[in-house]
Amino acid sequence: MLITTVNIQAAALPRAVALLQWLDGREDHVFVLTETSAGDGTGHLLTRCQEAGWSVLTNVGAAGDRGCAIVSRLPLTPLPDLTGSLSLPGRAVACSVKTDPEVTVYGIYVPSSDRSADKVGKKREFLNSLVTSLKDMPSKQRDGLVLCGDYNVITRDHDPAYRGTFLSWEYGFMDALTGDLGLVDAYRHLHAQQEHSWHGRSGNPYCFDYIHLSPKLLPRLMACTYDHRPRTDLLTDHAAVSAQFDVRVDHLPYEASSPVTAGTLF
């Protein structure tokens, strides 16, 4: 099974059409889309996937807030109890995928922040509630957990370091994922190095997008890669991150379920 997460940067309609073609051209089973919005672009993309018979899951967040969605060529079972306690439940979506063993996909879009008190508080509350949600997750879901999305934080050993840019509790969230929660950074586990997924206006590179997984899934992790083509092709300003797992799934015929050819283009 192949899972990919990508930040779609609240795509307007023309870019959403291009993103839809990119999604349809891949062979992934599950996509986690972050920075979705209430705009026409996100609506077009999700509607077209539904018309093609794909599974589409999204939470309704606060008015004007950005969010997260999961689209899949495989049937999904929503797990709203996993995200219902979050301070911003619209920024996360969780589901189970009927595989052997069963996989739980938990997609997140962490708020970004400047140093305004409101934004700092919003981000910190969300991260705290997310750690609590993951700690309280039933063991059945935790054992097959794949956590992924745009975290909007970096690790303590990030290269470049960006000293003073991030606060201690932001680093603490990443510490909690691999420490208290025991999750594994899929890319670092396989490659023993860090990648970058976003570049600032001055060209400074950051790793904001990740895939973490339960240690029980590690023997089934086959590959993890960053694809920079969505960023360099101007589909979005983020790289996509993909992970492949050796689990049994019932494959659907990709050519029979194309969101590009479903319905009308506009």
pLDDT for res 255: 60
Candidates 2.60.40.10, 3.40.630.30, 3.30.70.3270, 3.60.10.10; CATH matching 2-256: 3.60.10.10
What are the DSSP calls for 93-108, one per residue? EEEEE--BS-EEEEEE
Q: With a cut of 60, say whether residue 253 has pLDDT above it.
A: no
Give residue limits of the domains in the chain: 2-256
Coil vs helix vs strand at 7: strand
Please give the helix or strand (H or E) that residue 240 lies within, else none.
strand 240-245
C-alpha–C-alpha distance, residues 114 and 97, integer Å = 36
Q: Judge residue 118's burial from the number of C-beta atoms within 10 Å of its C-beta, 0-12 exposed, 13-18 middle, 19 or more buried.
A: exposed
pTM of the model: 0.95
C-alpha–C-alpha distance, residues 196 and 241, integer Å = 10
* pLDDT tens sequence across 24-36: 999 999 999 999 9
Task: List Cβ neighbours of 24 (8 Å cut-off, separation of 6 or more).
Answer: 258, 259, 260
* pLDDT tens sequence across 58-108: 987 777 899 999 999 999 999 999 999 999 999 999 999 999 999 999 999
Percent of the chain beyond pLDDT 90? 88
Task: List Cβ neighbours of 15 (8 Å cut-off, separation of 6 or more).
Answer: 9, 41, 234, 235, 236
* pLDDT tens sequence across 111-158: 998 889 999 999 999 999 999 999 999 999 999 999 999 999 999 999
C-alpha–C-alpha distance, residues 221 and 211, integer Å = 11
The torsion of the CA quartet 215, 217, 218, 221, rounded to 10 degrees, works out to -150
Binned at pLDDT 50, 70 and 90, residue 252 comes out as low
Residue 2, both tokens: 């192949």
